[in-house]
Amino acid sequence: MSELPILSITILLPLISAVYITFFISQSKSPNKQIYAMYVAVLCGALTLLSTIYLLIKFDVTKNSFQFVERYSWFAPFGLEFHVGVDGISLYFIFLTALLTLICIIASIFTVKKQIKEFLLCFMLLEAACIGAFISLNLLLFYLFFEIVLIPMYIIIGVFGGENRVYAAFKFFIYTFLGSVFFLLALLFIYKTTYSFEMAKLNILLPSLNIETQKILWLATFIAFAIKVPIVPFHTWLPDAHVQAPTGGSMMLAGVLLKLGTYAFLRISLPMFPDACQYFAPYVEMLSTFAIIYGSLVAFAQTDMKKVIAYSSVAHMGFVTGGIFSFTEVGVSGAVFQMISHGVISSALFLIVGILYERNHTKQIEMFGGVATVMPKLAVLFMIAMLGSIGLPGTSGFIGEFMSIFGIFSSYKVLGSIASLGIVMGAIYMLGLYKNIMFGEINNAQVRKFKDLDPYEYVALIPLILLIIYWGIIPSNLLNVINPSVQNLINIFAK
Amino acid sequence: MSKELIKIIPEIMLLALALIGQLIAVFSKKNKYVVYLVLAAICLIAVLIFDESWQILSNYPDAGLGQGIFGMDASNLSRIITLAFTFGTVIFYQDYIEITGYKFKIEFITLMLLSTLGIWIAVSADNLLSLFCGLEMQALPGYALAAFNNSNSKSSEAGLKYFILGALASCLTLFGMSFTYGFSGSLDYSIIKQTLNNGAEQNIGLIIGVTLIFTSIIFKLSAAPMHVWAPDVYEGAPIPAVNFFATAQKIGTLLILIHSLHYLVGEFLPVRIYLFKVLAALSMLIGAFGGIRQNSLKRLMAYSTVLNMGYILMAVSLNDIRINIVAVGYMLIYIISVNGFFVLLLSLLGQKSDEATFEDIKGAGYSRKAIAGAISIIMFSNIGLPPLAGFFGKYFIFYQAIAEREFILAILGILTSVVASFYYLKVVKVMYFTDKYTEITSIPTRMGLLILSCFSIAFILCFSLFGTCIFWSFVN
């Protein structure tokens, strides 16, 4: 294996291109700076994606530890090191981030009319920060990236969003920031107790703290992650943020940012506070099941397309947290699989909603109807994504949801049964959404003028749909990578 | 005799500079050259302070502040830091004059230098009288600086308010000093400290006296409940004066506070710790909630300053003596960002910066991109987002608070930080999140402002990279 610092390269690529777009493009002599910036961004996105694919290929599933580890001292007096590495759980997340960023950029450069440079700059920063968070092996470094994510997302929602974007941006920022500061306090306490931020060391040192301390620390971190995931009742920022964000922003938000919260549960809460997790697990499971049912019910009542999908995200993340806190191998693997597949599926759905919005300039469902007759190709792709969201066998959504519910069911029979109702409810609102938009008569005259998919929309949408089908039929590639790491995690609870 | 005079050569030089500069200005045609002379002389004094430190290193007692920083002891460090910010403010003043075209008299510079001299005297004070002289010498020019803009009635109002409230604070301080003298029998720090620490719980008079002494210091720091002058004075005074109040005065006063806490109060708990904990909590609350409804940018910075002084008082109130380094470090980080903000505000709005409201900077993100980006960086740093410098400042302070198990203050601190993030974000919002905006007329770039703002932004951005060196050299 080469000694190439591939992970640093993966993080640095977006950062360098962000700096380049900000500072150097204005000096260039090219006639149209916006197009230049677009080329740079697409190139960088493609290169980052290639490097993550390289990681996928070179990853060794038989090894039981973190791979591609790099460790540079950054701010030694306070335990901050640039300590990064991937294991089975985080590997596909960085692939997801890189893929989604590239797709978002492609989807957005034709739709965002003004300030495209700032938009691309924010996206590059967002990509770097998300990748950084997923590969961090140092707790403070993770917090750093966790927080950096807020800045570009705030700008994206606030500048490029819908009518109510200012309110949504503020709500998103302040709500998430509130959770994060509690995380910061927990971090400081951890450092005071152990004088180390290295996750490997903390996994050994922290579980030996007494149960009361563990519970308080767990609660502090729980607030931060629960707001991020989001777990009902901390979810109220999500509908506003998703609906008001531009298409690319919603895709990144749903596809990647939500996963930061659940990934943090897996990386931090479970290994470091196992006793507290065991103590609080029933409550979290109850909240998760509630989220599944509540999210589905609310989604059914929405009239705005994007809100339906936003609430469906809440419901799907309920599956994830339910799977995680079941502490069974099947549950946690299913949760990770669901995270990745939901990332792809909800991004595809948001992209489709964005495409429809471009055509009709409204998100109200009643303004659509019968779109399938004018846009048959979109209808097919939308159908696949929608079925993936429901969890039809053959799509990746099925695997994730099935394994998660299996996990919940093994530990909590009643909650598992209620959660499986959630799948049916998912079908209710999704099928309803699809029918109201795609089928039926064309009531709105505007609909007749819709053009079918543009080439760039194809390029953006097809990879996602293909992945949904591919992972649905052949999940083993994904599962073989995830399972060993999950097994390591679960062994903590085996005693 | 001469050996003692050698120790105060910097003070003598500063005084001479102030007076000579004033005299030259009376006879010279353009004030500009006098300002440049002052700048050069300040550099000379700074060099002298650095150099002198090697000579008297062995003789000077340490103040528990920082030993061996670049080979300097505490009082030299204080001198250098305040001088540095005065230097920055003088540059700022000169560019302000040229941008706005006001015809300010040279007394502005003289008053600033004398105010700095006052800080120096108070920092190295050994008995209550020197402290009082220093505090007054620092305060009185400040009152005049606030009222300097003759053409603006707000400026006169600001000066008047500052003067009256400042005089009240000084009266309370003097009252406290007289009580202290009465109940301890001496004006000397060491004797008062001894009396205080030797079973002084019964000596209510002494406790009251010593507590009241800090009134003036808290006033200058604009910590609650002595913060009331800050919004009005920040809003009315001309921006260079505000810059001086917000930077040199604050860091100087913090150094005075640390020095006097260490030498005057020692380990006497009620004053040393409990008082400042309460003040810290109050400042945080008032600073966070007070800034939410503000429309004027300068008032916003005033409330932001109150909030951050809350964090600093929280740090000062902790037990460990090394906390003082953290407090000074945080103050430095904050002041550099505030300095940067005022510089950028001036570069953006020019003459209108004295009355700057949110309406004035609306849409700046599109018409003056670089300046708006820089202001956004400063705002995000003040919120405390990594990897900017503000995060590390807050990190140090909250870490020390948690280490001493000050959970209530720490939680209050983070909650107020979230509340305050609202008005910091509002600045970013107004600059970027608007569709319709009026073009902001372009102000010609001035070299001094450019350097100051670049320094500020570079510091904020790169702190995470080189901050470790600075920090480690402080602690060791």
Interface predicted TM-score of the whole assembly (ipTM), two decimals = 0.89
Of A78, A181, A188, the CB nearest to B418: A181
Reading the block at residue A228, the tokens are 């991020």
List Cβ<8 Å contacts ≥24 apart for A395-398.
Answer: A395/A341, A395/A345, A395/A468, A395/A469, A395/A472, A396/A337, A396/A340, A396/A341, A396/A344, A396/A345, A396/A467, A396/A468, A396/A469, A396/A470, A396/A471, A396/A472, A396/A475, A397/A338, A397/A341, A397/A342, A397/A345, A397/A468, A397/A472, A398/A472
Torsion over CA: B322, B325, B326, B331 (sign): positive
The helix (H) or strand (E) run that includes residue A81 is: strand A80-86
The CA-atom distances, in angstroms, between A491 and each of A67, A329, A486, B76, B319 are: 20, 9, 9, 58, 43
What's the pLDDT score for residue B69? Answer: 36
A-to-B residue pairs, Cβ atoms closer than 8 angstroms: 81
Per-residue pLDDT for B54 more than 60? no
Which of A74, A77, A150 is facing B471, going by the closest CB pair?
A77
d(CA B433, CA B431): 6
**Please, what is the average pLDDT of chain B?**
84
Q: Is the Cβ pair A76, B418 closer than 8 Å? A: no
Is residue A73 within a helix (H) or strand (E), and if so which, with residue range?
strand A67-75
Q: HSE of A227 in the Cβ direction (CA atoms, 13 Å)?
A: 21
Distances, alpha carbon A445 to alpha carbons A106, A360, A450, B265, in Å: 29, 10, 10, 82
**Structure confidence by residue, pLDDT tens digits, A135-170:** 999 999 999 999 999 999 999 999 888 888 899 999
Give the amino acid at B351: Q
As a whole number of angstroms, the distance between CA A205 and CA A314 comes to 34
Residues of chain A numbered 418-477 and touching chain B (CB < 8 Å): none
Name the residue among B320, B58, B367, B335 with its Cα closest to residue B221: B335
Query: Nearest by CB to B421, which of A155, A165, A174?
Result: A174
A60 secondary structure, DSSP code: -
CB B283 within 8 A of CB B289: no
Q: What is the mean pLDDT of residues B276-280?
A: 90
State the maximum Cα–Cα separation within chain A, in Å, rounded to a whole number. 67
Q: What is the pTM of this model?
A: 0.91
Question: How far, in Å, CA of A357 to CA of B134, rounded?
Answer: 67
Please tell me the distance from the alpha carbon of residue B63 to that of residue B266, in angstroms, as a whole number: 11
Q: Do A166 and B417 touch (CB under 8 A)?
A: no
**Predicted pLDDT at B259:** 86
- Contact across the interface for B468 and A173, Cβ inside 8 Å: no
Partner-chain residue, chosen from B380, B399, B475, that has the shortest CB–CB distance to A191: B399
Interchain CB distance below 8 Å, A174 and B418: yes
Cα atoms found within 13 Å of the Cα of residue B76, Cβ hemisphere only: 27
pLDDT classification of B1: cutoffs 50, 70, 90? low
- Count the Cβ atoms, other than its own, within 10 Å of residue A76: 10
Pick from A379, A373, A370, A374: nearest CA to A352: A379
For chain B, what is the total number of helices (H) and then of strands (E)?
21, 0
Q: For B92-148, write each residue's pLDDT tens digit.
A: 988 888 888 788 888 888 999 999 999 988 888 888 888 999 999 999 999 999 998
A394 three-class SS: coil
**Residue that is written with structure tokens 């806190």 in the block:** A325
What angle is formed at CA A129 by the lines to CA A125 and CA A132, rounded to 5 degrees? 140
So what's the pLDDT on residue B32?
78
Residues of A numbered 73-92 whose beta carbons fall under 8 angstroms of chain B's beta carbons: which are they?
74-78
Mean pLDDT of B43-62: 64
Q: pLDDT (tens digit, 9 = 90+) per residue, B337-367?
A: 999 999 999 888 887 878 888 888 888 888 8
Q: pLDDT value at position A382? A: 93
Centroid of chain to Cα B200:
33
Give the span between the Cα atoms of A227 and B113, in whole angstroms: 51
Task: Output the pLDDT for position B271.
Answer: 67
The distance of Cα A421 from the centroid of its chain, to the nearest Å, equals 24
Q: Using the Cα atoms of residue A302, residue A303, residue A307 and residue A313 in order, give the sign of their dihedral.
A: positive
For the residues B85-90, what does the mean pLDDT come to?
90
pLDDT at site B4: 64
Omega of the bond prior to A271 within 30 degrees of 0, cis? no
Question: Confidence class of residue B321 from pLDDT cuts 50, 70 and 90?
Answer: low
Rounded Cα distance between A437 and B265, Å, is 75
Average pLDDT over residues B64-79: 54
- pLDDT-flagged residues of chain A (< 50): 1
Residue B414 distance to chain A (closest CA, Å): 6
pLDDT at residue B295 is higher than 70: yes
Q: At a CB cut-off of 8 Å and minimum separation 6, what does B56 contact? A: B6, B7
Task: Inform me whether the pLDDT recorded for B269 exceeds 70.
Answer: no
Name the CA dihedral angle for B148, B151, B154, B158, rounded to a multiple of 10 degrees.
10
Rg for chain A, CA atoms, rounded:
22
Is B53 in contact with B47 (CB distance < 8 Å)? Answer: no
Chain A's closest residue to B399, CA to CA, is A188
